[in-house]
Every structure is written in C-alpha cells, then in structure tokens.
A and B are shown apart, each in its own frame.
Chain A
C-alpha cells in the first residue's frame, strides 16, 4: 500500500514540521497516516472513533512536533506509533474489555502474533496493549499476582522479539 523504500531523515522531517512546512505535513500524513490509522483502529475498533483520534493525533503532531525532540525517542515513527496508541486508549476510556468483530477482521502483524500466543498470555497481552490496563489492574482482574503478570508479559515480549526477527 505504501512505498516503504522512501525514507526521509527524521531530523530533517522534524525540522521542517517545526518550521510549519505544509509539504512536510502533507508527506507525514500521506506516508504514515494509513499505518497510524490501523494502529488506532486496533485499539478503538470503531471507524468513527478512530477518525476522531487520528484528527487529534495529527493536530498534535503538526503543532507540537518539538515534543518528539524533547522526548528523546529515537525514531519519529516510534514516537508517533506510541502516541497514536496512547491517544486511542485515552479516547476509548475505560470501556469494558472484550472481543470485537473489527479486531478479528484485522489481520495485522500484532494481531497475528497475539492469536498465536497461549490463551493466558494472550489475555494478558490483550488487556495490556489493546486496553491499556496496568499490570496491577490485569493481575486484579485475572486474580493473579502482579509478579506473575509481569513475568508472563516479559515472556510475551521475548516471543514478540523472535516473531519480529523471523
């Protein structure tokens, strides 16, 4: 869908965004918009909500891009990716965790990875990533000890590293 071969240096892009360059804004939107929209959709599982989050996200990116520099984050996409998930979680609020049709239809890498996890780990990962719950909250919800959740999530991350490298 997107041309992955094209990659403009993050520092140059950030510099142009801070300067308010409309061309840089357009490039960011056209190049990263669909990818970020997919990340948001996975969390909100609702098109209308995802669109509203995407608007908020880009308004923030375009007007406060200096926050990326100050954050100390390494890549611009990494910063935008975390930001999009955080904003989506904030927008959906404390909705009841559950399965939804849109998530099942979405066959992104992360969802494919999630589906391949053992049931217990899958639940923990879903609650932490897609619902934004803290490890303590997940432990309370599942009647587990916090250390157990921390340990299982660590195993999930090791598995994800292998999955990503494969």
Chain B
C-alpha cells in the first residue's frame, strides 16, 4: 500500500524527467532496495517516454554525424598518445626535389665545435709561426757576427 501510494505520487515521472531533487533521488534509491518491483515501474515509465520520444524525433543534419564521429576519433587518438601508444604516423609531405637537406639537430653542435676547433688551430698556427719567425730573427744577427770581414 505504501509502495502504491509512493508510485502514485509521481516521483518516478519526476525522476525520469530529471526534476527530482537530490533528497528525492536518495529516497528513491532507498525505496528501490526495499522494493525491487519499483525498478519494473521505473523501467515501464522510461520505456513509455522512450517510445514517445522515438516517434517524435527530429531529423538530424547530415553533417552532424561526421562531426561527432570525427571528434570521437580525435579523442581516441589523444588517449592513445597519452597512454604512450601513439597511433599517429609521421608523414613527410615535403617534396624531395628541393635545394635544402634535413639533418639531425646534433649536426648543428658538431658544426659549431668544428668551427671553434678550426679557429683555435688557425690561431695556434699563426702564433707558432710568429714565434718561429722571432726565434729565426734572433738567430740571424748572431750568425752575421761570425762572417769574416775582408
């Protein structure tokens, strides 16, 4: 009798339409545990609403389906990437007939190092050349002193 009164109060319809408050929903869940037959009643109301809603459906714009399924695909790809299982494949769309080449970024460092080492070598060569010249100049007058005067 209590259950009948509860059902007739319109609580199921209120719940089905999303108008029930949190306390009403909690009460309904509690009643569902006490009276499992309440689930059948809820199912019947929701099925009735479903049948009516299906007959009153509004034609969907064709483009919507593509937009939704495209979004789902993107989200799926994002999730796969986050999981470290990327399903993306890198495609090089640059033409092969061009004046530039693509190299690894480490080559940049290698070229800088080579440039610096070559400069160091150049300065070292100049330095030692000048040193050699200086020492050669110092030796030359000493030799001249030993030249016999006629």
Contacts and interface: CB of A to CB of B under 8 A. Distances in A.
A157 to B, nearest CB: 3
Contacts of A86: 18
Interface of A: 1-2, 4, 20, 25, 29, 31-39, 41, 51, 54-55, 58-59, 62-63, 72, 74-75, 77-78, 81-82, 85-86, 108-110, 128-129, 135, 153-154, 156-161, 164
Contact of B57 (A1, A153, A160): A1
A85 B61 contact: no
B58 interface: yes
11 contacts: A34-B54, A35-B57, A38-B53, A75-B43, A75-B47, A78-B49, A81-B18, A85-B17, A110-B17, A128-B19, A135-B21
A31 B46 CA distance: 16
Interface of B: 8-14, 16-19, 21, 29, 39, 42-43, 45-61, 64-65, 67-69, 71-72, 75-76
A55 to B, nearest CB: 5
B13 A34 contact: no
B42 A34 contact: no
A156 B19 CA distance: 11
B10 A158 contact: yes
A81 B49 contact: yes
B67 to A, nearest CB: 6
B57 A38 contact: yes
Nearest to A77: B50
B71 A25 contact: no
Given A20-B76, A74-B42, A75-B50, A158 B59 contact: no
A91 B61 CA distance: 19
A63 B46 CA distance: 23
A2 B11 contact: no
Nearest to B29: A72
